[in-house]
Amino acid sequence: LRHTCEQDEGMAGYGWTSYDTRTGGVHLVNDTGNQVDIVTQFSKTKEGNWGLRVTSLPRENAAIHQQTSVFFYVGLERAEATMKCMKRVSGGIACTGRTTDLGDFNILILDHQREGSSSAQTTVKSMTVAAEGIWQAKSTLSQELKRRSPEQVSLEDQAGQGNIHFVQKSFKGGFEFDVFFSSDSNTIMTSDALTQAITDGRKGFRERFSSVYAPQEPFTTAEYSRFSQYLLSNLIGGIGYFYGKSRVDTSSPEAYSENDPNFWEKANAARTHAIVEDDGPHELFSAVPSRPFFPRGFLWDEGFHLQVVMDWDMDVALEIVSS
């Protein structure tokens, strides 16, 4: 059961092959451990609506009709927020909700049939948990699965009201499904519109990249262009918004000064007597040094990140600085 992409555990690689801060991009996961490649294509509009297409491609040595389950979940951390998910008679999952920040919103999840894809067995589990526990979705999901018998590797089908909702889609072989978010039910994206937006987005990214970062000799061949686009995409695709309280050590022992040759030993000993307090909440909009093992803002690195980001999107760079 994977909740995050890690550098080990049978991962051959993962990352954005293209990504634009304004329109979206394409992300690829090469999961050799589960013998599947997962392509995520994301497109967003100026109004703040977005569409997501998840495609699974069984790897060459995968078993015939290999079964794969994907969990899509959404949670609301605000106590006053509400959300309800239901299965539609016409197919798919429809969720409606409201928060003070977003107002009314809609989420629609639909299977998207393509050649070689299979139909999904879909279950929905709606739950209400403590607001401070929303971020522990993996633990909540694992506990729910353990409550089922070993023969039932699926969630209980119980859609309804709650502040966290898990949608499990189980497939045999390849699959594809779409997720749409809209803050206005009249402007929700369609599968055809998403297909066109993905095509236009990939084309627009390549053209803009060639304009902003014009290749120079001898790095003008296609492989250098793909490599450069991959680097940029994973830099700006790693930009995130962080919000919450910090755990801060307010003590200032001499051992932290790093004046002694073996300062780390004394510092480790001093940490056992640290005075740790909550500070905040604070918010930060920032790129990260590394998505897998350092997924947080780091002031030293951010200056180097912004040298590239400001050429691509100066407004985003200024938002990062002001945060």
Separation of alpha carbons 144 and 232, rounded Å: 39
Question: What does the block give as tokens for 215?
Answer: 């290749």
According to the model, what pLDDT value does residue 115 have?
Answer: 65
Percent of the residues in the chain that have a pLDDT greater than 90, as a whole number: 52
Question: Is residue 252 exposed (0-12), middle (13-18) or buried (19+ Cβ within 10 Å)?
Answer: exposed
Q: How many CB atoms lie within 10 A of CB 211?
A: 8
pLDDT tens per residue, range 178-199 = 999 998 766 788 999 999 999 9
When comparing pLDDT for 189 and 319, which is higher?
Answer: 319
Cα atoms in the Cβ-side hemisphere of radius 13 Å centred on 306:
18
According to the model, what pLDDT value does residue 259 have?
Answer: 78
Mean pLDDT computed over every residue of the chain: 88
Is the pLDDT assigned to residue 237 strictly greater than 80?
yes
pLDDT tens per residue, range 65-120 = 888 889 999 999 888 888 999 998 888 899 999 998 888 999 999 987 766 566 67
pLDDT tens per residue, range 23-44 = 999 999 999 888 899 999 999 9
Beta strand spans in the chain (E): 11-20, 24-31, 36-44, 50-58, 67-75, 82-87, 93-99, 103-111, 121-127, 164-172, 175-182, 240-249, 276-286
According to the model, what pLDDT value does residue 192 have?
Answer: 93
3-state helix/strand/coil string of 108-155: EEEECCCCCECCCEEEEEEECCCHHHCCCHHHHHHHHHHCCCCCCCCC
Report the predicted TM-score, pTM, of the whole model to 2 decimal places: 0.86
Average pLDDT for 219-238: 94
pLDDT tens per residue, range 111-138 = 877 665 666 789 999 999 988 888 899 9
